[in-house]
Amino acid sequence: MGRSAYHELAMGGGQNEIAIETIKQAAEKGEWVCLKNLHLVTPWLSVLEKEFKMLTPKPKFRLWLTSEPHQKFPSILLQSSLKITYETPPGMKNNLQRTFQYVAPANGSQDPNKMQLLFVLSWFHSLIQERRKFIPQGWTKYYEFSYGDLKAGDQILSDILKESQGRNVAWQKVYGILENAIYGGRVDNEYDMRVLRSYMAEIFKNETLKGQAALSNMVTTPQTTQVRDFVALIGQLPENDKPNMFGLPSNIDRSVQRFNSSQVIIQLKSLSAVSAEELRFDKEKWTE
């Protein structure tokens, strides 16, 4: 189709009317439209469905919709679509690329600390998500750290940065809100809470913001306001995560494999026990 015939919109920021108008124009010209993150605007999807049914598009017209799983996503819209599901690629690098794309402004920021703070938040969010693959040593259980937590953290940090007015960021306020209201609100284990506090203390501080201390002993925060510089830095990260990136011992993979193996063995034993129970002679059934 070419870039000139492909239109892309990220939903969730009051783009509803623009999206409808873009779809109508693309249907007349036979172009493609991609609406992203529809799970953020599920109440509006009924309007989209009605507008779509009223179109008389040209044969080349296509409407692409992307969404995370959501309970309130209209079933009729799903049934009338060709569906493709995929699992996001694992790893800190891939996670950080997606996460930073969500929060970074397209044209950078005029505030010298805003981009650095968004990058540090993205690193923290990706780190605690990817740590889940080391259960039960990384976290004691699976915590649903989601896009909503990231957006809430972005809003809170932006407000605190405005309050600082060029002075040092009030980190204790950041710790309190992230621990008690956002990420820590999902954690219900004291060991996991200690891990979360340690991450916050190591990541959210002046040294990491100013590039004087490395994040996870790997990279330092770029001292620039250009998004492309941060994207280039993320692209240099290794494809395979190393345990020391998460502050875990080098033999953690062996422990995780041993735990997963024991879980499989327990499941196989329970299956064999059920099978043995079904094969047992039942006198009452035989009598009947």
Q: Is the confidence at residue 104, as pLDDT, over 70?
A: yes
pLDDT in tens, 139-160: 999 898 888 899 899 999 989 8
**Residue 276's pLDDT band (cuts 50, 70, 90):** low
Question: What is the set of domains in the chain, with CATH numbers?
Answer: 3-79 (3.40.50.300), 92-246 (1.10.8.720)
**Closest by CA position to 246, among listed 89, 135, 147:** 135
Cα atoms found within 13 Å of the Cα of residue 211, Cβ hemisphere only: 10
Instruction: Could you list the beta-strand ranges (E) of 90-232.
Output: none
Q: What are 56-91's pLDDT values in tens digits?
A: 899 999 999 998 888 888 888 888 899 988 777 788
d(CA 37, CA 70): 11
Q: What is the pLDDT of residue 109?
A: 67
Q: DSSP string spanning 135-155? A: TTTS-SS-----HHHHHHHHH
- Mean pLDDT for 2-26 is 89
Tokens of 288: 């009947």
Q: How confident is the model at residue 1 (pLDDT cuts 50, 70, 90)?
A: confident
pTM over 0.75: no
Q: Are 201 and 175 in contact (CB under 8 A)?
A: yes
